Structures are given as C-alpha cells and as structure tokens.
Amino acid sequence: MTPRARPFRFERGAVHFPELALWLDAHDSRGPDEWAVVSHAHADHIARHKRVILTEPTARLLRQRLGGQREERVLRFGERAEFSGPRGDFALTLLPAGHILGSAMGLVEWSGGSLLYTGDFRLRASPACEPCDFSAARGCDWLVMETTFGRAEYVFPPTEQVIAELLAFCRAALAAGETPVLLGWTLGKAQELLCLLADSGLRVAVHEAVLPLARTYEHCGVRLGECEALPPGSPTDRVLICPPTFARSPQRAALGPCRLAVATGWAMDSSCKYRSGVDAAFPLSDHADFNELIEFVRQIRPRRVFTTHGFAADFAATLRDLGFDAEALVAAEQLTLSLGVVPAQSDSPATASRRGREGRKAD
C-alpha cells in the first residue's frame, strides 16, 4: 500500500525527523542532542551545528567556510552508518549527488520505511565533482527532491555546445583587446569553469574569494588547471573567473575594457543577461534540468514524492500527470507528524508556484 502520511516535519525549509533527532540541511544551528546532515557546503545548506554528518570534501569546505568546532561524523559515499535516536534507531547512507564536490544525497532507513533526500543534485557528469549515483535508493518509500528547474522550459542544451560557445566568447573578447570575465559562484561553479578551461590554452586568473576554495578542490584530487590570483590593472591576456557581485564592484570599474558573461541555469530565461548586467549568459548549471528531474523519479520509482525549492508545485503537478503520488512542500506545511500518521496539507498550486519563483536558488 502506498504510504499516505509523510514521516517527517518540513520546518523552515529543512527536513526534520523529531523521533530520530535528525535534520537534513537545517538552516538554523542545531544543538548537541541532534544530528544534522549537511548535504554540501553551499551557504544555504550550512549552519553552525554541534553535530554533523557529511562527506570528507564537505567537511573540509565547511571548516574553511565556517571555522569553529563541531562533532563530525564523516562518511564515505555508500557507507551505511547506524545511529540511535530518542525514539528509534536509523541507518544513514550518503550517495553522490553530482552537484558540487562532496555533495551528497541522504538515504535514511528506519523501522517505518526508507526516505531519500536529494539536496541539490544533477545527473549530468562534471569534471569538478563526483558523478551522481543513486542506485542504492531505488524503490525507496519516500523521495524528497529539489526541483529548482522544475518547469518544461528549463531543458539545458548539450554541455559540449555550451562549453564551445563559452570558449568562443572568451577568445572573441581577447581578440578585441578586452578581458573576458566569467561570473559564477565562488564554490562549485568557479571550480567547474576552471576545469572546463584547463585544456583550452587560455590563461586564467581568479578572484581572491575563489582561490582558497580552488586549492581545497585540488587537495581532494580535482584537476583544475593553472590559475593565479586576479592581478591589478587590465589583464587582457587572461580569462577572469569572479563571483557575480564583481559585475557591479569597484574592481570591475577599474578593470578597463572587458566583456562579462554569467554561467547559470537561469540563462534559459531570455532576460537573464539583462538582469545580471552582462554581455552574455551561458546555461551551465550544477542542478538537474526538467528532463533530468523526470528521469530521476522514473529511475528511483518511490512510493511517494515530495518536491521542494524552485518550481516545486509545478513539478509535483507534472509528476501527478505522469502517474506518481507527488506533493509540493511549502512553507505553510509545518504540521507536526510522527513516523507514519497524520496526512499533510499544502498550498494551492498557484501559491506554491509563486513561492518557487520568489525562492530561486543561486546557480
């Protein structure tokens, strides 16, 4: 029989198992009596928790980004670890999510069933992180998945095509005596750009916020290629990789002639480059696109799906049209549920869709 009640609370954008004292990607700091799974080290997925479960690369990045002391339970991908909660034991397995280095899905198993929490993920391979592998979670009871690009207009072109166009942009700028500046988030996107430029023959410099994170990637075995810190003046012989804030910074004003491009899945929106204040936008994303989201659910074949982030209500409706039992998680859904009783309620699809548009994740 398909389970109708969800076995967790959805609180402040995080998944919480009260009876297991377990949180998945909690935004607020959790105390020493609870475990917090940190799926990856992006700012919207970390907090100053006292006890964390995570992969080794994420642990390194977390120490670098947050500092401080915490109890760390570091798991290898595929390692099944046993834990004791206040009202039940559970097992947790971290599976590679393919989002950024060290990013992990969490497979939670307890006496009442099994749940896969994806965090941010993608199925497309990237040279900057571990490939997604969810085979151990097929047939789970519940699936909680991010749906950042959960509408049909967000189908990305082939990665090879995007890379070719991005390299052509850089070479055209250099040929015109201008500095090509590629904008991407300092963790994940910047390192992926470094990987993609590694064998291009182009000289690369990075913003000061990117360099220490790039060194951590290299320490974890990722080959990024040669790069140096952003030099002063107008380095027209280099491709620069900088965070999106660079576009409106004093450094940008002092750079001289340049062409700016942003690398993001939101480049599928025709207005993206105008909103970003850049000359070009390339749909290079570390999230799953619409087709990948559907393929993922078809391969997992869970009994019930919960969608969150982005166009969660839209994608849940798509899944229902495809025959899946699916529901969007939204901020209003914060009923207290035990491991297997009271059914939840949701916002209307229109309200949830609006929330999705307002709550777009950085990409």
Taken in order of first residue, the domains within the chain and their CATH numbers are: 9-153+287-358 (3.60.15.10), 159-282 (3.40.50.10890)
Measured distance CA(299)–CA(278) in Å, rounded: 38
Measured distance CA(110)–CA(141) in Å, rounded: 11
Banded pLDDT at 4 (limits 50, 70, 90): low
Banded pLDDT at 358 (limits 50, 70, 90): very low
pLDDT of residue 325: 96
3-state secondary structure of 180: strand
Which H/E stretch holds residue 294? helix 290-300
3-state secondary structure of 92: strand
Average pLDDT over all residues of the chain: 90
- Quick: pLDDT tens for 139-159: 999 999 999 999 999 999 999
Which H/E stretch holds residue 95? strand 88-96
Measured distance CA(50)–CA(34) in Å, rounded: 8
pLDDT of residue 350: 38
Who's near 154: CB < 8 A, 6+ residues apart? 265, 268, 289, 290
Which H/E stretch holds residue 262? strand 258-263
Which H/E stretch holds residue 64? helix 56-66
Structure-token match 């991908």, residue found: 77
User: Residue 183 has which token pair?
Assistant: 């904008």
What are the backbone angles phi and psi of residue 304, rounded to the nearest 5°?
-145, 145
Query: Does the pLDDT value for residue 346 go beyond 90?
Result: no
Within 10 A of 215 (CB to CB), how many other CB atoms are there? 12
**Contact at 8 Å (CB) between 99 and 191?**
no
- Quick: pLDDT tens for 104-122: 999 999 999 999 999 999 9
> Does 350 or 262 have the greater pLDDT score?
262
What are the backbone angles phi and psi of residue 56, rounded to the nearest 5°?
-60, -45
User: 3-state DSSP helix/strand/coil percent for the chain, to nearest 5?
Assistant: 30, 25, 45
3-state secondary structure of 324: coil
pLDDT of residue 355: 38
Structure-token match 């993608």, residue found: 122
Q: What percent of the chain has pLDDT over 90?
A: 80
> Does 231 or 286 have the greater pLDDT score?
286
pLDDT of residue 339: 41
Measured distance CA(190)–CA(205) in Å, rounded: 11
